Amino acid sequence: LAKTTQPISMDSYEGQEVNITCSHNNIATNDYITWYQQFPSQGPRFIIQGYKTKVTNEVASLFIPADRKSSTLSLPRVSLSDTAVYYCLVGMYSSASKIIFGSGTRLSIRP
Amino acid sequence: GAVVSQHPSRVICKSGTSVKIECRSLDFQATTMFWYRQFPKQSLMLMATSNEGSKATYEQGVEKDKFLINHASLTLSTLTVTSAHPEDSSFYICSASSTGGGLNEKLFFGSGTQLSVL
C-alpha cells in the first residue's frame, strides 16, 4: 500500500468542523482512499472511502484533489464522542494485499 | 454493515499457558483475514495475513511457531498465542475482507482482545 503521512495529533472544540489531511504522494492509479476511526480498546471502524473528487456520507466528507496525492477527511460539527484516532489507508485491497496502518491522527475534542 | 465477531474481549493468563482468540465473520464469507497487535498509544502492527485453506503469511519478526493462525473456513480464523509470556501482553485485533475482492473493498474489524500475561 502507498505510504501515508498524517498529523500525529489535532485538537478542536465541540461544534467545530475538523479537517484531517493525509498525504499519499505515491498513490497508484487503482488505489482507493479509506479512512478508519478507532476508539480506545476497540477495533477500527470504517468511516468513508473515495477515489476522486468528493464523497459524503452521514458521518463525514472526503475531499480528494485531481492529482490524488492527498485527501482531507472533514468531520462536521464534532462532538466529544469524535475523540479518537483516525487512520488514512491507501491501496487496492485483494487477497494478495497487505493492509498496513500508518501512525494515524489522534483527535481530541474539548467542550 | 458486515460484522466481525472477536472473542474473548479480554483474557488474563499465567505465563507459559496458551491462549486462543477467535475471529468470525458473521454475515459474509471472508477469504482473507488479517491479525494485528497494538501496544498502548501506538498504531496497529500487522502480524499475519491468512487466506482460507492455506498457510498464513507472517510479517517479518513475527514468530509463526508462537503465533499460530488457522483459517479453516470462510467464516473463522483463530490466533493461538503459545506459551505466552508477559511481553506478549497486547491488544490483538482481527479484520476480514469479503470474497471477491474488488478495487474498493473495505475491511471489517473485530472488537479486539486485550491479552494480559502474568
Note the pLDDT tens digit of each residue in A9-64. Answer: 999 999 999 999 999 998 988 888 999 999 999 999 999 999 999 999 999 999 99
CB A75 within 8 A of CB A83: no
Looking at beta carbons, which residues of chain B come within 8 Å of A41? 91, 112, 114
Q: Is the pLDDT of residue B99 over 80?
A: no
Burial of residue A107, with CB atoms counted within 10 A of its CB: 0-12 exposed, 13-18 middle, 19 or more buried: buried
A42 Cβ under 8 Å from any chain B Cβ: yes
Looking at beta carbons, which residues of chain A come within 8 Å of B112? 41-43
Identify the pLDDT of residue A22. Answer: 96
CB A73 within 8 A of CB A16: no
B110 Cβ under 8 Å from any chain A Cβ: yes
Residue-wise pLDDT for B14-40, tens only, equals: 999 999 999 999 988 888 889 999 999
Task: Please report which helix (H) or strand (E) contains residue A107, including its range.
Answer: strand A105-110
